Amino acid sequence: MSSGEERRRHPRTPLSLLVQYRFNSFEDFLAEYSVNISPGGMFIRTDKPLEEGSMVYLQFSLKDGSRLIEGMGRVVRVNPPGVKDRVAGMGIEFVNFDEESMQLINEICAQRGAPKSKN
C-alpha cells in the first residue's frame, strides 16, 4: 500500500463518469473522466493535470442525467503522464459542495459498495 492510500480518509469507489471542470479565468469547461470517487473527493484522469493547490469548479451528473452535482474542489495530488503503473490525472478534494450534492455523492458511493458515513 502506498503512503497516499494510507493517508486516505475515505475508501475509494471506482466510477467512470464524465466530469466537467474549469479553473482560474477559463470560461469554457474542460471534460475528462473520473477514475474513482469518495465522500471526500475524486480522481480525474487527464494528461494535463493542474498544479497542486489549484481550485477547480466541478460539474457532473448521475448516469441518467437527472441530477447535477456541482461545487468547488482543490487539487491535492497530481500523477503526471508517463509514469509507469500510475494513471495520469489529479486527485481533487471536495471543498465547497452544497448539502444536496454531498448527499448524492454519498448515495453514489453507497450504491457502488463504499461504506456510507452516518451522521
One CATH from 3.30.450.40, 1.10.150.120, 2.40.10.220, 3.40.1190.20 for 3-111: 2.40.10.220
pLDDT score, position 25? 67
Average pLDDT over residues 36-63: 93
Per the CB < 8 A criterion, the answer to whether 90 and 65 are in contact is no
Residue 3 predicted with pLDDT over 50: no
pLDDT at 7 over 80: no
Burial status of residue 117 (CB atoms within 10 A of its CB: 0-12, 13-18, 19 or more): middle
Q: Is the pLDDT of residue 114 over 50?
A: no
Where is pLDDT greater, at 94 or 64?
94
For residues 101 and 71, the answer to whether their CB atoms sit within 8 Å is yes
Taking the domains of the chain in order of start, what are their residue ranges?
3-111
| Per-residue pLDDT band at 106 (split at 50, 70, 90) | very high
Measured in Å, how far apart are the chain's first and last C-alpha atoms?
29
pLDDT value, residue 29: 86
